[in-house]
Structure 1
Amino acid sequence: MSDDCRGKASWPELVGARGVDAASTIERENPFVSAVIVLEGTIVTQEFSCTRVRVWVNTSGVVVDIPVIG
């Protein structure tokens, strides 16, 4: 993660939460990022962004990995 990113950078407490709730929490706790819900196994680009947090969810919509800026 870059030292240039602002605000809270990771949310380990959200693993196991509903993805939509996690995304809302992330955006409330760090207004500098947008949370994007992504189904696990989906292919995504690898570029780093200080304004994005990917929220990886399973087919039930539950967060399966720690959301982090990137």
Structure 2
Amino acid sequence: APSSSRHIPNRAQLLSLKLLPSWSICRFGSGRMGDRTKTSWPEVEGLPGELAKRKILADRPGLNVIVLPVDSVVTTDYDIKRVRVFVNPAGIVAKVPKVG
């Protein structure tokens, strides 16, 4: 039988591939409630931080949502499971929360 020039990678090869960051794949979500691809929440800007956190978790339950003061020092790493909600001194969301 002639050998095929097509290679089918095994599991180890697939896991070692450099994949696109998940945000480049999922950033085009429609934004509907329960949308598992949603990556930003402009609709919560201006709401109390804890309410914003609940709304974000309603859309994406697996995320780690952290409410922080707007002037907090944070790491610059990108985490596909993290959303930081920055609030002003009154506890109101001061900028659009997004995955990262």
TM-score by length of 1: 0.90
Residues 28-39 of structure 1: pairs in structure 2 closer than 5 A? 28-39=58-69
Larger helix proportion, structure 1 or 2?
A: 2
1:3 pairs with one of 12, 18, 24: 24
- Residue 98 of structure 2 aligns to a residue whose secondary structure is coil
Structure 1 ranges of 4+ moved more than 6 A: none
> What percentage of aligned pairs have identical amino acids?
34
Does 1:43 find its partner at 2:73?
yes
Counterparts of 1:67 and 1:18 in 2: how far apart (Å)?
A: 12
- Residue 50 of structure 2 aligns to a residue whose secondary structure is helix
2:57 pairs with one of 27, 31, 36: 27
Query: In the comparison of the two structures, how many residue pairs are matched?
Result: 70
With a CA cutoff of 8 Å and minimum separation of 6, indicate the structure with the bigger relative contact order: 1
Query: Quick check: which has more Rg, 1 or 2?
Result: 2
- Residue 83 of structure 2 aligns to a residue whose secondary structure is strand
2:90 pairs with one of 60, 64, 69: 60
Task: Structure 1: give runs of 5+ residues left out of the alignment.
Answer: none
